[in-house]
Amino acid sequence: MTALLLETAFVDEAGQSMTGKDVASVIERLVAERGGPDRIQSDNGSEFISRAMDKWAYDHGAVMDFSRPGKPMDNATVESFNGSFRDECLNVNWSLSMEDAQEKIEKWRRDYNEFRPHSSLGDLTPEQFVAKYKDSERSPKTPLLGGSVFG
Exposure string of 69-86, with b = 16+ CB inside 10 Å and e = fewer, is: eeeeebbeebeebbeebe
Helix or strand holding residue 83 (H, E): helix 76-85
- Residues linked to residue 40 through DSSP beta bridges, in sequence order: 64, 144
- Residues linked to residue 124 through DSSP beta bridges, in sequence order: 118
DSSP string, 32-82: HHH---SEEEE---TTTSSHHHHHHHHHTTPEEEEPPTT-GGGGHHHHHHH
pTM: 0.68
pLDDT in tens, the chain (151 residues): 445 556 544 555 666 678 889 888 888 888 887 777 888 888 888 888 899 999 999 999 988 888 888 887 887 877 888 888 889 998 999 989 888 988 998 899 889 888 999 888 889 888 888 788 776 654 545 555 555 544 4
